[in-house]
Structure 1
Amino acid sequence: MTERVDFHCAGCGVGLQTEDKAKLGFIPEAALQKEPLICQRCYRIKHYNESSSITLQQDDFLKLLGHIGQTKALVVKIVDIFDFEGSMISSLARFVGSNPVLLVVNKIDLLPKVTNANKIINWVQRRVKEANLRVVDIVLCSAKKNIGFDRVISSVAEHRGNMDVYVVGATNVGKSTLINRLIRDYSDLEAELTTSQYPGTTLDLVKIPLDDGHYIIDTPGIVYTHRLTEVVKKRDLGPLMPDKPLKPMVFQLNEAQTLFFGALARFDFVRGEHQSFTCYTSNAIQIHRTKLDKADELYAEHKGELLKPPGKADLDELPALVKTPLNVPKGKAFDVLISGLGWIKLNSMAGAQLAVHAPKGVKVILREALI
């Protein structure tokens, strides 16, 4: 197969070719006469919201990011506030070298309206310090809802100087949506990047020319398999990923009680004082409470019925649930994050002994409370 290196998809950046429908960059011959040039994959995502099984492997993603440290550029790192730890690129410092990093915390519209923005920024600063990442600024925004975007633009302008801008992030953090907003402010380029709910939408470097001769460079999203959003089938992402402000669910639990999150995860309050737990998950996730000693039986008898994933998910397609014990110390408010599903806040500082059952490979961590 001969790749047409002189043509690249305006949506995902991949080199275009006309010979193999099953491979990246396929475009029908007739479509080569149209502007902008869009590969068939991007066309079907954009017009029919269809997913594609074609994505780059993680090693390929890392190779594309590997040269950033040898260039002079502003690096805009985008994270998802709904899955902060799951969407952080842990090795980013190794890639960026001495380049300045602007941290954009996206999807802030999902948090309850009463949330204090300054407290969120302080929380993010502590997480960034723990990750040994030095940043020049932290900006909260919602690219989808146009919240805080003026602040993103001004911070990019302040720290870019006479440099290119690389935009990096894990899959599904809203990176392409934010870049489309940057295009409107910085470039006359008419074509927008392909944006969809499916991970791995951008497949190659996409260079957007700026008025001063430099570029905004969109990089492929890194696929992290420790996120639940990478474990479920693409057709089931819609219900799992919230698109409206979260409606926290509060449960008063005694020890030896369990919460099921559909059939996707299970939260056991093994031992501790009577206390309340607040669940921050997609509004489509049904939460069911039961006794701990009945949990195994309930799951075995009612998974797929009373306990079922949102959407059309087939439980046989999901990895088996794996137990993670957690001992919560006293004296501090904590969250239990299940990457890609959301988090459970312990409202008491009395400590607790917990166990979380999540699909094998999905990250489960104890962290300082976000809210």
Structure 2
Amino acid sequence: MMDHETAACAGCGILIQSEDAKQPGYAPPSALGRKVVICQRCYRIKHYNEVAPVSMGDDDFLRILDGIGATQSLVVMVVDIFDFQGSWLKGLPRFVGKNPILLVGNKVDLLPRNINLNRVRNWMQHEAKERGLRPEDVVLISAEKGLHIDELLARIGELRKGRDVYIVGVTNVGKSTMINRILHDYGAAELEITTSPFPGTTLDKIEIPLEDGRSIFDTPGIINRDQIGHMIPPADLRKITPRSRINSKVYQLDDGQSLFLGGLARIDFVHGPRQPFVIYVDNDLYIHRTKLEKADEVLEKHHGSLLVPPTGEEAAKALPPFVKHTFKIKPTGITTDVVISGLGWVSLQGKHDASIVVHAPKGVSVGIRKGLI
């Protein structure tokens, strides 16, 4: 039997304990004799798709990451390509020190088929530089589909130069899914890490030994609270999290029209010539077009029913009040994306002036960027 007093959960990394079922790391005594032990929370995530809240706060996650700068390691930062802004790990340079960084864009399988992946890599390099980060390289993968994992492993092997590897990122970018893909493809499936669509699944560093005596460390995801997914129930989170390739939706709008993205955001076209608004959100998210003069009335009457998610009157009431974000798009000839963190983005072609107002729940990050597509 393993020494459960010092054993870590193979799923989330938390220390195993069998004394208090209400505390993180609990595993029943009957499970302690197994070759691979996972805590009760991980067991319920794996088998019932449930997740229980834990008492770890942002400071606990930051403390775990804070020691990376003192090591000699390769840092692999994973971002969600579909939610690049929302999945960006702020302040990374102060965690990593002088260690090299490999930037990994996950969920490439969600992007439209006709997209140029070299352009996406260049775009990510540009966006990283704008945020003060100069990665050694950018690799695009799909951890879920197993796309380009060989390329990722090759670059890790070239860049780490005999050092440890730390995998970092915010919650729900697919870090643990990526590592599980590597473990499955290379014969260590018994070490499978717990994954779920819910934030905060990994609770401590998980160490995976390498053949040369070094290790890969999966670290907890930092919660970016400006993502809209942290403001809605888990059932609604599933409704805005893409699981298949995104099909853009094009709306030819006149000024004085509004678009509702479910009941989670509203886009008002206040002024400008008729032009296309190209929407990139989950394929099943309901989009409703109405006149700007009726938009307030529509929201008040249909929030939580026609305009879902949020689903239900109580969920709609629990959502923070909408605040306005005003943007003036100039005719530069360059596509501009208006991004709503955790939900998706709207592209304007940059051929005409456009004054728009985006309404989103208070605390959700809304901004513009150079067009991804």
Specify the TM-score bucket, using the shorter chain as the normaliser: over 0.9
Question: Is the contact made by 1:285 and 1:310 (CA closer than 8 Å) also made in structure 2?
Answer: no
Mapped pair 1:250 → 2:247: no
Mapped pair 1:326 → 2:332: no
Q: Which residue of 2 aligns with 1:336?
A: 338
Secondary structure of the residue aligned to 1:27 is coil
CA deviations on 1:80-119 (whole Å, 9 max, x unpaired) are 0011011111200111111010000000100010001111
Q: Which residue of 1 aligns with 2:26?
A: 26
Deviation at 1:41, TM superposition (A): 0.2
Deviation at 1:158, TM superposition (A): 0.7
CA deviations on 1:288-311 (whole Å, 9 max, x unpaired) are 001111100111112222212166
Paired residue type of 2:190: E
Partner Cα separation in structure 2 for residue 135 and residue 185 of structure 1: 26
Alignment of 1:170-249 (within 5 A): 170-184=170-184, 188=188, 190-249=190-249
- After the TM superposition, which parts of structure 1 deviate over 3 Å for at least 4 consecutive aligned residues? 184-189, 310-313
Q: Does the C-alpha gap of structure 1 residues 186 and 208 become closer, same or farther in structure 2, counting only changes over 3 Å?
A: farther
Mapped pair 1:86 → 2:86: yes
Question: Structure 1 residue aligned with 2:367, among 359, 365, 368?
Answer: 365
Partner Cα separation in structure 2 for residue 143 and residue 338 of structure 1: 24
Paired residue type of 1:164: D
Question: Is the contact made by 2:305 and 2:311 (CA closer than 8 Å) also made in structure 1?
Answer: no
Secondary structure of the residue aligned to 2:191 is coil
Identity %: 49
Paired residue type of 1:127: E
Deviation at 1:181, TM superposition (A): 2.0
Question: Is the contact made by 1:187 and 1:211 (CA closer than 8 Å) also made in structure 2?
Answer: no
Q: Which residue of 2 aligns with 1:356?
A: 358
Secondary structure of the residue aligned to 1:147 is coil
Partner Cα separation in structure 2 for residue 186 and residue 28 of structure 1: 31
CA deviations on 1:11-55 (whole Å, 9 max, x unpaired) are 000011112222110111111112210000000000111121125
Alignment of 1:4-83 (within 5 A): 5-54=5-54, 56-83=56-83
Question: For structure 2, which runs of at least 5 residues remain unmatched after alignment?
Answer: none
Deviation at 1:59, TM superposition (A): 1.2
Question: Is the contact made by 1:229 and 1:237 (CA closer than 8 Å) also made in structure 2?
Answer: yes
Give the TM-score, by structure 1 length. Answer: 0.96
Deviation at 1:190, TM superposition (A): 1.8
Partner Cα separation in structure 1 for residue 119 and residue 84 of structure 2: 15
Partner Cα separation in structure 1 for residue 28 and residue 188 of structure 2: 27
Deviation at 1:276, TM superposition (A): 0.2
Paired residue type of 2:320: P
Deviation at 1:165, TM superposition (A): 0.4
RMSD of aligned alpha carbons? 1.6
Q: Which residue of 2 aligns with 1:153?
A: 153
Question: Is the contact made by 1:255 and 1:273 (CA closer than 8 Å) also made in structure 2?
Answer: yes
Partner Cα separation in structure 1 for residue 63 and residue 274 of structure 2: 50
Secondary structure of the residue aligned to 1:15 is coil
Deviation at 1:317, TM superposition (A): 2.3
Secondary structure of the residue aligned to 2:53 is coil
Deviation at 1:4, TM superposition (A): 5.4
Moved more, 189-198 or 236-245: 189-198
Give the TM-score, by structure 2 length. Answer: 0.96
Question: Is the contact made by 1:166 and 1:218 (CA closer than 8 Å) also made in structure 2?
Answer: yes
Partner Cα separation in structure 2 for residue 353 and residue 103 of structure 1: 34
CA deviations on 1:241-281 (whole Å, 9 max, x unpaired) are 00000011100001111000111110111111110011000
Secondary structure of the residue aligned to 1:6 is coil
Question: Is the contact made by 1:335 and 1:369 (CA closer than 8 Å) also made in structure 2?
Answer: yes
Q: Does the C-alpha gap of structure 1 residues 159 and 55 become closer, same or farther in structure 2, counting only changes over 3 Å?
A: farther
Partner Cα separation in structure 2 for residue 311 and residue 204 of structure 1: 33
Partner Cα separation in structure 1 for residue 311 and residue 45 of structure 2: 19
Paired residue type of 2:323: V
Q: Does the C-alpha gap of structure 1 residues 297 and 188 become closer, same or farther in structure 2, counting only changes over 3 Å?
A: closer
Partner Cα separation in structure 2 for residue 21 and residue 36 of structure 1: 19
Alignment of 1:65-144 (within 5 A): 65-144=65-144
Deviation at 1:62, TM superposition (A): 0.9
Paired residue type of 1:128: A
Partner Cα separation in structure 2 for residue 200 and residue 249 of structure 1: 32
Question: Is the contact made by 1:107 and 1:142 (CA closer than 8 Å) also made in structure 2?
Answer: yes
Question: Is the contact made by 2:167 and 2:219 (CA closer than 8 Å) also made in structure 1?
Answer: yes
Paired residue type of 1:328: I
CA deviations on 1:125-180 (whole Å, 9 max, x unpaired) are 11011011121110011011111111101101111111000000000001100011
Question: Is the contact made by 2:304 and 2:310 (CA closer than 8 Å) also made in structure 1?
Answer: no
Partner Cα separation in structure 2 for residue 306 and residue 64 of structure 1: 43
Count of aligned pairs: 369
Partner Cα separation in structure 1 for residue 182 and residue 36 of structure 2: 18
Question: Is the contact made by 1:239 and 1:311 (CA closer than 8 Å) also made in structure 2?
Answer: no
Partner Cα separation in structure 2 for residue 20 and residue 74 of structure 1: 37
Question: Is the contact made by 1:55 and 1:200 (CA closer than 8 Å) also made in structure 2?
Answer: no
